[in-house]
Structure 1
Amino acid sequence: MTIEAAPVHHLELVPMGDGAWRLCDRSRVRLGGDEDGTLLAYIERLAGGEYEAVWVWRGAGVETFPSLEAVLVAGTRRLSSTVGSDSKPVPIPHRAPLSFRWTRRSAR
């Protein structure tokens, strides 16, 4: 099963066995990356019919979803949060250089 998540991402569920998948971003393959794509999560169907995703890319964690589609949507959200924007970076406050601090002290 594949999904076109965004113009940048191409998610693919790669079967690993009965009720288990790997969720990969295949867009990295087209850009000359790893042949299998970037591994985002391991997914397993639980006994109750839900799906458990073990995230391994950008923030490890475990989540439970009602469907595979919900897992794909969550994967898309994780990837879209890493897409760059055109906004300027937030400036980091800093202290005056040491030379400036020493000249101010000596003037006292």
Structure 2
Amino acid sequence: MTIDAAPVHHLELVPLGERAWRLCDHAPATHPDDDGVLIAYVEQLPGGAYETVWVYRGPRVDTYASLEEVLVAATRRLAPMVGTDSKPVPIPHRAPLSFR
């Protein structure tokens, strides 16, 4: 199963067994023979839910009801950080305590 998440991402679930997959991102800029960037390992649990062990952007384990939810979560994980052009909000400071 593959999905084009954005112009720069091409997600693919590569089967590892009957109920296990490797989720990879095949960005168009990568070499055609490249296996892509590993995003997560996905396994279908006996109850039907999908346990996802994220590799990209730090280790984490989440459970989803469907493979579609896994792909949506991966798309969000790959989305660039939203930047703003505004200045940071200054933190109010108190004057230092004086000792007597």
TM over 0.5: yes
Query: 1:42-79 CA deviation, whole Å, 9 max, x = no partner?
Result: 00000000000000110211000000000000000000
**Number of aligned residues:** 88
Query: 1:12-69 CA deviation, whole Å, 9 max, x = no partner?
Result: 0000011000000111xx3135701000000000000000000011021100000000
- RMSD of aligned alpha carbons: 2.2
Query: 1:52-108 CA deviation, whole Å, 9 max, x = no partner?
Result: 00001102110000000000000000000xx266645967x9xxxxxxxxxxxxxxx
For residues 46 and 84 of structure 1, do their structure 2 counterparts lie closer, same or farther at Cα, with a shift above 3 Å needed?
closer
Local SS of the residue matching 1:54: strand
Identity rate, percent: 60
User: Is the radius of gyration larger for structure 1 or structure 2?
Assistant: 1
**Runs of 4+ with >2 A deviation:** 83-91
The 2-side partners of 1:4 and 1:74 are apart by 14
Q: In the alignment, which residue of structure 2 is the partner of 1:12?
A: 12
Specify every segment of 5 or more residues in structure 1 that has no aligned partner in the other structure, as ranges: 94-108
Q: Decide which structure has greater helix share.
A: 1
Q: TM-score, normalised by structure 1?
A: 0.72
Q: TM-score, normalised by structure 2?
A: 0.77
Specify every segment of 5 or more residues in structure 2 that has no aligned partner in the other structure, as ranges: 91-100
